[in-house]
Chains A and B, each alone.
Chain A
Amino acid sequence: MKMTTSLNRSLWVFHFNSGSCNGCDIEIVATLTPRYDPERFGVKLVGSPRHADVLLVTGPVTNQMADRLRLVYAQMPGPKLVMVVGTCGQSGGVFSTSYNLAGPIDQIIPVDVYVPGCAPRPEAIIQGVVTAIAKLERLQGDGEA
């Protein structure tokens, strides 16, 4: 039960680093600064996947992180989306030939939104969030809650 329907558009995001070089993570922090201020739309990072609507994953998935990524995804309540930020998560990027790779991310868990770039600019990340909001509303409309 939601207290008011006005909270429906708030998107709470859980950030998961599955082995990135930290470049994408720095851009995510830049996105959260007052210059872009996504919190005015209710978009904020949360500390637990159990409170999140979106799982934001950066980096290719290393062998060590694959099971943890599956578990974190399983712990999110529905409806949920997965957003990949950075080329690494889409194809492995500069790490694609590494011996220690279980990814890319869509080989581990289903992905809904891709934000390409190495690293993507904050504007691109915000565009990805907007796409995620539209898809989440569609899922809620379909009753996949």
Chain B
Amino acid sequence: MIGTLTTGFGVWNPLVWLCVIAVALLFSWIIWRCGESDYDEDTEQTASYLSGNAEPAKGAVHVRAGNMYWGFTAALKSYYDKLIPLHSGIVNDYVSWFLIGVVVLFVAVILL
């Protein structure tokens, strides 16, 4: 629908929006044309400037989601230091911990 939609709050017409986008693209292109054109493609001249340091591999500078709760893990470091070695990745270990937990719970319930 190309028609103009008029509501109590404003007006919507796709053709007007297309014109706005075309004008914005034209301005962007003009500004881009005014830029420095002396760069040699595929050389250091188009690489990121990092104070003269070589650009690290993308994986090396990846910020993981875990970084967001770094303070939390740092504050509970003593707890994690003990807990992480228990995560051996062997199912037998986990079943053993489960059984020990159940036995302790069972004994506690009987005694109390």
Interface residues of A (CB under 8 A from B): 1, 3, 16, 48-51, 65, 67-69, 71-72, 74-79, 145
A-B contact pairs, 7 of them (CB 8 A): A1-B35, A50-B36, A69-B52, A71-B44, A72-B49, A75-B49, A77-B40
Q: Given that A68-B51, A68-B52, A71-B52 are contacting pairs, would A76 and B37 also be in contact in the complex, using a CB cutoff of 8 Å?
A: no
Q: Which residues of A contact B52 (CB under 8 A)?
A: 16, 65, 67-69, 71-72
Against A, the Cβ 8 Å flags (1 = close, 0 = not) of B43-57 are 111010101111000
- CB of B34 within 8 Å of the partner chain: yes
Q: Measured between C-beta atoms, what is the minimum distance from B1 to chain A in Å?
A: 42
Q: Given that A68-B52, A68-B53, A145-B38 are contacting pairs, would A75 and B33 also be in contact in the complex, using a CB cutoff of 8 Å?
A: no
Q: Which residues of A contact B43 (CB under 8 A)?
A: 74
Q: A3-B34, A72-B52, A76-B45 are in contact. List 12 more A-B contacts (CB 8 A).
A: A1-B35, A1-B37, A16-B52, A48-B49, A49-B49, A50-B39, A50-B45, A71-B44, A71-B52, A71-B53, A75-B44, A77-B40
Interface size class on chain B is 10 to 19
CB-based contact A77/B45 at 8 Å: yes
Q: Which residues of B contact A145 (CB under 8 A)?
A: 38
Q: CA separation between A65 and B50, bound complex, in Å?
A: 14
CB-based A-B contact count at 8 angstroms: 43
Q: Which residues in window 1-56 of B have CB below 8 A to A?
A: 33-40, 43-45, 47, 49, 51-54
CB-based contact B38/A71 at 8 Å: no
Q: Measured between C-beta atoms, what is the minimum distance from B4 to chain A in Å?
A: 39
Q: CA separation between A49 and B39, bound complex, in Å?
A: 12
Q: CA separation between A1 and B34, bound complex, in Å?
A: 6
Closest to B33 in A: A1
Closest to B39 in A: A77
Q: Given that A68-B51, A68-B53 are contacting pairs, would A75 and B36 also be in contact in the complex, using a CB cutoff of 8 Å?
A: no
Q: Which residues of A contact B54 (CB under 8 A)?
A: 67, 71
Q: Specify which of A3, A51, A71, A78 lies most central, judged by the most chain B CB atoms within 10 Å of its CB.
A: A71
